[in-house]
Structure 1
Amino acid sequence: MFLQRRQQLFTAMSDNSVAIFCASEEQVRSRDTEFPFRQDSDFFYFCGFSEPKALLLLIKKAGETRSVLFNRSKDKLAEIWQGRRLGQTQAIDQLALDKALPIEELNEHLHLELEGLSKVYLAQGRYPAYDQHIFAAIERLRNGLRSGWQAPTQLEDWRPLVDEMRLIKSADEVALMRKAGEISAAGHCRAMRSAKVGMFEYQLEAEIHHEFLMAGARAPAYGTIVGAGDNACILHYTENQSVMQDGDLVLIDAGAEYQMYAGDITRTFPVNGKFSPEQAKLYNVVLEAQIAAIDMLKPGASIYDANQRVLNIMVSGMVELGIMQGDVATLIEEEAYKEYYMHGLGHWIGLDVHDVGDYHDVKRTRPLVEGMAITIEPGLYIPADADVPAAYQGVGIRIEDDVVITANGCEVLTADVPKTVADIEALMAS
């Protein structure tokens, strides 16, 4: 898989060039402890290497290609304290590389790997410390004309090339995302079975994370949101510290990361296991919109097209429930709905939960093609002080699934967790 990706990038690169990818840096959590390490997605995409302090060079010269990794040397004492290192010899074998050099000797060897090349592809600014090493190596070559050295003269961002590659998922990637979706769904089902009046939001968060870990997903793909009552109206609420009250709906936005690929699911359900009539009415407006949007997804459609359908359903529903007043078409045209639905319909998903890829414009009119993976997540958020019927005040509802575009339609990767009123109530009752 990684060799195929490298070859695809080589095909897109200019001759006599190098693409340089940097590993993530360890981040200090407090004093001398670090946050759990997570590899840079683009670096991982081309080699599958999960250690920090590394640099990957993909070199295309005179019709030939080669891959060079700078990584940490084997060190018995360091490995006793901090964990095993792959080293150079094993890196060549396990990662199918042509060459591996010690990162500790980067300044001694990097300029020699760049010598004679014309162009450097680099995501400048992402890792400034490595930028300094790279530009120092180029400057060293510029000053080595008497030695016959030739320095690269062009610098180009590789992100447009790589983002387009990552946007289209292979069958192997879809399989990993399907697994991430299954684990994420299991976490949400566990939360529905576990929810009780009087629980803290963080206790429900703990149930979800337990399910993720037991299934082999070592971490959530992003900060888990458990928002009960009007906390659900805070789009990126992560405090998760309130007590869940009788009569509350709780909105959970949580996804597992499985072998670097993200799941991303949102479900909203009653803490006491039973929707009130008003909650069910508003919930079904969002559900109808989400199902209609997913039904539209196929090659040639767009997120924009699906969102227009969602707007019609949700604005019509809010007018019918007395939350909004006026002509539906006019309310949509004037964007009056943004008081209650202020985010987009969905986003790309993959190695990153908000994955890379060009939408073409702010309205996201890019035609979908097979292999694209997106989320569909309409939501309605009614503030506690909104001038609406009291039963809808302080209610937030979002329903989200992960979808991959297929040859003739789409596949929902997160369908294992229920989302109809009847199915949710039945699961909670069990």
Structure 2
Amino acid sequence: MTEFEQRRSSFFSKMANNSLAIFPAGQEKIRSKDTEYPFRQNSDFYYLTGFNEPDAYLLIVNKEGKQQTLLFNRKKDKTAEIWNGKRLGQSGAVSKFGVDLAYDVAEFETQLQELIVDCSVLYYPVFSAPELERCLNVAVNKLRADRSRGQVAPAQFIDTQMILHEMRLIKSEYEIELMAEAAEISAAGHIRAMQVCHPGMWEYQLAAEIHYEFAQQGAPNVAYNSIVAGSHNACILHYTENNQQLHKGDLVLIDAGAEYKGYAGDITRTFPVNGVFSDHQAQLYQLVLDIQVSAISQVKPGVALADINKSAIKKLVEGLLEFGILEGDSEQLIKDQAYKAFYMHGIGHYLGLDVHDVGLYGTAEDPRLLEAGMVITIEPGLYISEDADVDDVWKGIGIRIEDDVLVTKNGAEVLSADVPKSINEIEALMANA
């Protein structure tokens, strides 16, 4: 638990004297009638606790510069545990998770007013926790109404996310180990998909093979809804229906990642259903691959993702001009954003406990620079829809190649390098499956 205790201490060091920070856990969500979706812990709460039960609150108290950590969680309940599984309870929370005190979460609302008395600053996730905000609204307004008794309500409210998300952006050595494992398991799923794919298979069957491999490797949960998009479905960026049959001569784009101990893998590969690229598919694929390799080579501290994206756009436009998909002057086409008909997203995003992880990117005028310890994706794409005004040979082809990349002091380390991405490697793997 040292890792989590250090994170709590780090947050505490950023708090004002006589202040209180509150972090809510996730809640179970109804799927239909009386059945729930699989529970997924709130990422901020998990980052600070490692505690994986719903309906809880973590409190960090700064009283005259001294730290105290409180947890409100569900109490032990034999009947509930028979039906829905074991609960840690209060004594278990103290011994296992290193908090100073633990209380029944049913007492949270009644104790809240006493806890915030004489706190000058209150930290909580503003606009992100409706039930907590309801409780705070009641408690703060009661204190304001009782000023005659000498009780003072907090006068300043600060969003915990502004502090915590900056902490989460730079990964510790422990986190990097978990993310490397998430990437390796994700890569194994993609390799399996290439090995078993064949014409006549359905997209959901290929998704099942990937998820099976994730589970076999120790990651029973996916980091996000998997995309298995054959043919023109690959031109839908967040296609998740996965209900169409795969045909000989088509490409299939798979965007899938395993979640390992809370951390997300996020890999995309595009390959031919029958194991062999056609000439036109190979031309477009090689263009995207060249762009991706070049983009990864630019990753290092002090470089902005926005600038890497600009370089990718330049290479993409040059390639599309060469193939006759675009016509005109490259600089003017870039200025007019003509490429957006074929490349609509950016070059990548932060990766961590969330697949689109937290952290500020800066502005177009002042983009944020990469730092050692960040983990990002690099994922150029090319999508030519069936109704695009281009030669028919290009229509319906969607390609994206995505890797998970750790920013190091000296450059970049590709965490997802296990899964092939060159044309020769993919065709050889599929031929030998």
Aligned twin of 1:154: 156
Does the aligned pair in 2 maintain the 1:285–1:314 contact within 8 Å?
A: yes
After TM superposition, the score normalised by the length of structure 2 is 0.97
The counterpart of 1:313, out of the listed 312, 315, 320, is 315
> C-alpha offsets along residues 219-255 of structure 1, whole Å, 9 cap, x if unaligned?
1111100000000000000000001011000000000
The counterpart of 2:176, out of the listed 174, 177, 182, is 174
Aligned twin of 1:17: 19
Pairs within 5 Å for 1:272-351: 272-351=274-353
- Comparing 225-234 with 387-396, greater Cα deviation is found at 387-396
Aligned twin of 2:402: 400
Does the aligned pair in 2 maintain the 1:304–1:363 contact within 8 Å?
A: no
The counterpart of 2:79, out of the listed 49, 64, 77, is 77
Aligned length, in residue pairs: 430
CA RMSD of aligned residues (A): 1.2
- Comparing 343-352 with 320-329, greater Cα deviation is found at 320-329
> C-alpha offsets along residues 372-394 of structure 1, whole Å, 9 cap, x if unaligned?
11111000000112222222110
**Distance in 1 separating the partners of 2:332 and 2:53:** 54
> C-alpha offsets along residues 325-366 of structure 1, whole Å, 9 cap, x if unaligned?
112222112111000001111111100000011001147821
**Distance in 2 separating the partners of 1:364 and 1:182:** 34
**Distance in 2 separating the partners of 1:364 and 1:76:** 56
| C-alpha deviation, 1:146, in angstroms | 5.5
Secondary structure of the equivalent of 1:176? helix
Aligned twin of 1:412: 414
Aligned twin of 1:195: 197
Q: Percent of counterpart pairs with the same letter?
A: 53
Aligned twin of 1:236: 238
- Comparing 11-20 with 395-404, greater Cα deviation is found at 11-20
| C-alpha deviation, 1:93, in angstroms | 1.0
Gaps of 5+ in 1: none
Does the aligned pair in 2 maintain the 1:53–1:72 contact within 8 Å?
A: yes
**Distance in 2 separating the partners of 1:28 and 1:382:** 38
**Distance in 1 separating the partners of 2:349 and 2:326:** 27
**Distance in 2 separating the partners of 1:363 and 1:72:** 48
| C-alpha deviation, 1:143, in angstroms | 3.8
Letter in 2 for 1:298: K
Secondary structure of the equivalent of 1:91? helix
Aligned twin of 1:115: 117
**Distance in 2 separating the partners of 1:425 and 1:249:** 12
Does the aligned pair in 2 maintain the 1:304–1:364 contact within 8 Å?
A: no
**Distance in 2 separating the partners of 1:152 and 1:218:** 43
Secondary structure of the equivalent of 1:374? strand
Aligned twin of 1:220: 222
**Distance in 2 separating the partners of 1:304 and 1:240:** 32
Kindly indicate whether residue 133 of structure 2 is the aligned counterpart of residue 131 of structure 1: yes
| C-alpha deviation, 1:144, in angstroms | 4.0
**Distance in 1 separating the partners of 2:86 and 2:360:** 38
Kindly indicate whether residue 23 of structure 2 is the aligned counterpart of residue 53 of structure 1: no
Aligned twin of 1:7: 9
- Comparing 148-157 with 413-422, greater Cα deviation is found at 148-157
Inter-CA distance 364–250: structure 2 relative to 1 (3 Å threshold): farther
Secondary structure of the equivalent of 1:19? strand
| C-alpha deviation, 1:218, in angstroms | 1.9
After TM superposition, the score normalised by the length of structure 1 is 0.98
Aligned twin of 2:38: 36
